[in-house]
Amino acid sequence: MKLVVDTNKLFTFFWSGSLLYKLIKANHRLFSPEFALEELKNHKPEICYKAGISSIQFDEFFLNLKKVVTFVPFEDYSEEMSRALSLIKENLKDLDFIALALSIEGAIVSDDKRLKDQSEIKILNKSEFNELF
């Protein structure tokens, strides 16, 4: 299954036994907007602290993450932005994730309850993760 992974779920890649590892083992194709890489870098100290890893370990995990998740440039899903905006007018921080999901015809893995306010894209939250395995 094609799955768009939100930034919060990407953060968990740095924890052992995370959901992302399970999704990878289940052979799902994972995608995220390219800007999410910058968000991860910006939160490096926090991620290192919470995951109990060093800066060097973060860099190793980061390289591995880029091998298992396809980070899509804005230009590749920009044509879906207006359609995405019509689906989530009040939740603009998730606009790119919606547009990317529309572009690849995939679902989104997220615990953001506001994403469920639309019905065009399947949103899989914690209680629905078992559908993925």
Using one digit for the tens of pLDDT, what is the confidence trace for 72-113?
A: 999 999 999 999 999 987 778 889 999 999 999 999 998 888
Packed helices 35-42 and 55-68: angle between N→C axes, nearest 10 degrees: 170
The total domain count for the chain is 1
10-61 residue pLDDT tens = 998 998 778 888 888 888 999 999 999 999 999 999 999 999 999 999 999 9
| Residues spanned by the domain of 66 | 2-132
Strands 69-72 and 123-124: unpaired
Angle of helix 55-68 relative to helix 44-51, nearest 10 degrees? 100
pTM: 0.90
Residue 72: give its domain's CATH number: 3.40.50.1010
Rounded (10°) angle between helices 35-42 and 44-51 = 70
48, 58, 112, 131 from 124: Cα distances, Å: 27, 27, 10, 8
